[in-house]
Structure 1
Amino acid sequence: MPTRHVINASVSPKGSLETLSQREVHQLSAAGSGSVYELFRQCALAILNTGARIDNAKTILDAYRDFEVRIHQQDRGVRLELLNAPADAFVDGEMIASTREMLFSALRDIVYTANELDNQRIDLSTSQGITDYVFHLLRNARTLRPGVEPKIVVCWGGHSISTEEYKYTKRVGHELGLRSLDVCTGCGPGVMKGPMKGATIGHAKQRMHGGRYLGLTEPGIIAAEAPNPIVNELVILPDIEKRLEAFVRVGHGIIIFPGGVGTAEEFLYLLGILMHPDNQGLPFPVVLTGPKSATPYLQQLHEFVGATLGEAAQRRYQIIINDPAEVARLMAQGLKEVKQFRRERNDAFHFNWLLKIDEGFQRPFDPTHDNMAGLKLSRALPPHELAANLRRAFSGIVAGNVKEKGVRLIEQHGPYEIHGDSAVMGPLDELLQAFVQQHRMKLPGGAAYAPCYRVATAAMA
């Protein structure tokens, strides 16, 4: 960890946050609901570290243990007092504008989540209730814009990728921007930054104002993937499952770039949903793409899907190698089909209500050692259910790699054990080994990757 430079400062929102009540301020104070305060403190610290090349939540939290946030209610609104804050978030004593916007976005979302869970207006015990919650949180964040034609392209991929892969994501983003399409990502570095950066140039060339660079994240991963400064709309969902649902509800098409286990998790989540019988015939363009050097990665991911979920899953996406313009053209054409489909069925452009998402994809998965070992990974399961469990397995590996709780569990109890029949575990082990060999599980600046998992093959089911 480099030498720390810290600063004390006082900041106020720029018309982006309504006045908080005394109860809400109390919730966020260290003397009030400690868990809510600590959650906001963690997210605030990650945002203030935007641009830092640190991909481990525990490292950041340990380095700034004396960082404090004090929330003050004033007649004019809210003021945040920051103590021992990372100095890189300031220029000549003034907080960078994008950092300030994201800081108060985090405050907005955490206050909203705490209040919604407290007042129980939404029933989170049902699938529809969870979807309603995601809708209300996005609406509260002013993310949903009725009447705007479908043009939000979600880009998924790794936060730690090669220079060539990063440049390719910028080229794809540039082509999307030239077609006046907006970009939504997980808001961090790597693939989450490149398409946004490229799109800004494409939008500028088209003299397009108001381009949207939407970042969706969650507290458990925000420190590992601190928001990049291009994000102009930040939303913090309470857990990974609601974050993933937000992606597929607000996005109109998805591009998947090279990545590691986090990308595989997202990809399997998406395939599991699209393979549900109720979603047959629902248009949702999906493209896997990368530069020529990423061909082995894309092919291996494609083969893994075929070996575990079958050809039907492979037909839900297209693979395009080293052709950014074709990726953008295909996506633009797919969005026209989405628009026509939703218009015919009177579905909203801004929120995909017709998409069926089973509760199994919505319930938060706690990656304890027992839960990881208890996952059912068998070809005997319906493909969309197997996809859900594979997604959980990858989610646990992500937690063990970068999330504070997961990292600490691995330190205390050793690697996770993942069990399943050989028809699934063989391809899974091959894919994970390939990720390690291609350095897709190695964090920048860290030591050689030590697996946080062990694949245990059982007899064929």
Structure 2
Amino acid sequence: MSNNEQRQRALPVQNARIFPRGELDILSRVEVARLRDASSGGMHDLLRRCALAVLTSGSASDDPRAASDLYPDFDIQVTQQDRGVLIDLVNAPAQAFVDGVIIKGIAELLYAVVRDLAYTAIELGPEYAAELESSEGITNAVFGLMRNARGLQPGDPNLVVCWGGHSIPRDEYLYTKQVGYELGLRGLDICTGCGPGAMKGPMKGATIAHAKQRKHPARYIGITEPGIIAAESPNPIVNHLVIMPDIEKRLESFVRLGHGIIVFPGGVGTAEEILYLLGILLREENKDLPFPLVLTGPAVAAPYFEQIDRFIRLTLGDAAAARYQIIVGDPPAVARAMAAGIKQVREYRLHNKDSFYFNWGLHIPLEFQQPFEPTHEAMAALDLHRNRPPHALAADLRRAFSGIVAGNVKEPSMRRIEQYGPFEINGDAELMASLDALLRAFVEQRRMKIAGDYKPCYRVVT
């Protein structure tokens, strides 16, 4: 027996039976059947992976296979009873329990997994495929998922989305906490991608500020998707988890739900998010729509943002750079800028009679909403040339970064790369040189993976 096998077998596990309360009481028998079914069309395998991710909440690993390797005998079963739903956990990670009782926060995240996967299985099943072929249909699906997850809260705009890397150095993490603290002092809630690093720091800082201001309830929303959650398990502060079906609906959730966005230093995932938002804001339909966007980090991160800014100006032009401001080393200034921007959002939506809790007025074209499957053929076919309209180029650049994210942390893409080698990305020579320099910087700054030597899943053809 290898040392790794011995270590795996020595990990403490726990069996448990949980009786959820609240929204899970109304799962239908069909929903429960799909969650239990591991065959074609069933979701049991997906349920098992997502459940294991939340039961290992706070994990420092970003290897999507790590949890399954450590707990190969874990299983979850959902059963419909006359008086509600029953969840059985078999060989679950003991770290999710205290004295044999599951931690309440982890139990809530587990219920969210069951709730969102059940809703997706029924409301977005194959029979509704035609409705998801239009932009309006996809936005309605995002709205339905968020409403079912109780993520839409009427009231004054106060939700700040924070993007940034899961693999960041200590000084950058502490800075995200300071910014979160300043946001919390101003009564602003936090929404992130739910994982570690820059997704955890703002929430952690805001908890102290919210306590000082006696703000209750406070929202710490984490939005993820099944392909990401295994590599970026929810951090312990998330008190409202939402699992969207794919990365495109996850991105749309951020910009529909949030009233402003702060971007901390990160890697390819953060670059993908920036390009997604800028590509949308560059549309003529959105030119007058206020959407505060601040790029920020500690003073040592100034070169990082200078490189990001150069890349954006080269690829999308100065009009794209005009949609954001860069503030370095000044958390109070970041919070003041965001609070002022959200005030403008409030006035704009009042004037246009738009809701505060869902940004219906933001136009998102279908090319930004359709799921992108990063195969070798699809990645090689991306049109990365600067003679295109900026928003169209942004859409394909976003797909390129999305493919690299998938190659780093999503099992299907990881398997493709193991079998066929790295993805190839090609296009305009100057653009490719700039892209290659940006990606090399991410690797050198260890922004691709939390631990271990990074082996690129891509090759830029320059």
Bin the TM-score by the shorter chain: over 0.9
Moved over 4 A (4+): 31-34
- Among 445, 453, 457, which residue is 2:458 paired with? 453
Counterpart position of 1:210: 217
2:134 maps to amino acid: T
| CA distance in structure 2 between the partners assigned to 1:400 and 1:24 by the alignment | 31
Alignment of 1:117 onto 2:124? yes
* Residue identity opposite 2:149 in structure 1: A
The percentage of aligned residue pairs carrying the same residue is: 60
1:126 and 2:134 aligned = yes
- Three-state SS of the structure 2 residue aligned to 1:17 is helix
User: In structure 1, how many angstroms separate the alpha carbons of the residues matched to 2:442 and 2:236?
Assistant: 28
SS at match of 1:124: helix
Q: Which runs of 5+ in 2 are unaligned?
A: none
| Distance in 2 of aligned mates of 1:65 and 1:409 | 23
- The offset of 1:120, in angstroms, is 2.4
For 1:110-259, list aligned pairs within 5 A.
110-118=117-125, 119-120=127-128, 123-146=131-154, 148-259=155-266
- CA 1:62–1:424: 2 relative to 1, 3 Å: same
- Choose the corresponding residue for 2:268, options 236, 253, 261: 261
How far does residue 111 in structure 1 lie from its aligned partner after superposition? 0.6
Are 1:343 and 2:353 counterparts? no
Counterpart residue type for residue 147 of structure 2 = R
d(CA) in 1 for partners of 2:45 and 2:448? 28
Q: How does 1:282-321 map to 2 (within 5 A)?
A: 282-321=289-328
1:33 CA displacement = 5.5
Q: Is the 8 A contact 2:25 2:83 kept in 1?
A: no
CA distance in 2, matches of 1:59, 1:321: 36
Q: What is the Cα deviation at residue 85 of structure 1?
A: 1.1
Q: TM-score, normalised by structure 1?
A: 0.96
Amino acid at match of 2:387: A
Q: Secondary structure at the match of 1:401?
A: helix
Aligned 1:300-449 pairs, distance under 5 A = 300-444=307-451, 446=452, 448-449=453-454
Partner AA of 1:251 in structure 2: G
- Inter-CA distance 121–385: structure 2 relative to 1 (3 Å threshold): closer
Task: Give the partner amino acid of 1:353.
Answer: W
Q: How far off is 1:300 after superposition?
A: 0.6
Give the 3-state SS of the residue equivalent to 2:21 in structure 1. Answer: coil
Residue 21 of structure 1: CA displacement? 2.0
Q: What do residues 312-361 of structure 1 show as CA deviations (whole Å, max 9, x unaligned)? A: 11110000000000000000000000000000000110000010101110
Q: Structure 2: how far apart are the matches of 1:136 and 1:442?
A: 34
What per-residue deviation string (whole Å, max 9, x for no partner) do you get for residues 156-187 of structure 1? Answer: 00011111000000000000000000000001
- In 1: Cα distance, 2:163 partner to 2:415 partner: 27
Give the whole-Å Cα distance in 2 for the aligned partners of 1:64 and 1:410.
25
- Per-residue CA deviation, residues 38-63 of structure 1 (Å, 9 max, x unaligned), is 11111101111111211111222233
Q: Give me the whole-angstrom Cα distance separating, in 1, the residues matched to 2:207 and 2:23.
A: 22
Equivalent residue letter for 2:458: Y
Aligned equivalents of 1:300, 1:199: Cα separation in 2: 29
Selected match of 1:12 from 19, 34, 38: 19
2:42 pairs with 1:24: no
* Partners of 2:38 and 2:45 within 8 A in 1: no
Structure 1 SS opposite 2:454: coil
State the AA in 2 paired with 1:137: L
Cross-structure match for 1:55: 62
Q: Which one of 46, 59, 72 corresponds to residue 39 of structure 1? A: 46
How far, CA to CA, are the matches of 2:150 and 2:448 in structure 1?
35
Change (3 A) 1:33 1:22: farther
TM-score (norm 2): 0.96
Give the C-alpha shift of residue 32 in structure 1. 6.0
Q: Secondary structure at the match of 1:235?
A: strand
- Whichever residue aligns with residue 454 of structure 2, its letter is Y
Query: CA offsets per residue over residues 195-246 of structure 1, 9 Å max, x none?
Result: 0011111111111110110110000000111001111111000000000000
Task: Give the drift of 1:15.
Answer: 2.1
Q: Shift of the alpha carbon at 1:34?
A: 5.8
**Higher mean C-alpha displacement, 409-418 vs 324-333:** 409-418
- What pairs up with 1:78-117 in 2 under 5 angstroms? 78-117=85-124
Q: Match of 2:334, as an amino acid?
A: V
Offset at 1:8? 1.3
Q: Which amino acid aligns with 1:58?
A: R
In structure 1, C-alpha distance between the alignment counterparts of 2:203 and 2:149, rounded to whole Å = 20
- 1:122 positional shift: 7.6
Q: Given residue 350 of structure 1, which amino acid in structure 2 is its aligned partner?
A: Y
Give the distance between the partners of 2:23 and 2:141, measured in 1 at CA: 21
> What SS is found at the alignment partner of 1:18?
helix
Q: 1:358 and 1:79 mapped to 2: Cα distance?
A: 41
Alignment partner of 1:123: what SS? Answer: helix
Displacement of 1:419: 0.9
- Whether the 8 Å CA contact 1:373–1:419 is kept in 2: the answer is yes
2:90 partner SS: strand
Local SS of the residue matching 1:69: strand
Does the 8 Å CA contact 1:26/1:32 hold for their aligned counterparts? Answer: no
What is the one-letter code of the residue matched to 1:144? L
Cα distance in 2 between the residues matched to 1:342 and 1:93: 49
Between the aligned partners of 2:150 and 2:38, the Cα distance in structure 1 is 30
User: Per the alignment, in what secondary structure is the counterpart of residue 364 of structure 1?
Assistant: coil
Work out whether 1:273 is the aligned partner of 2:280.
yes
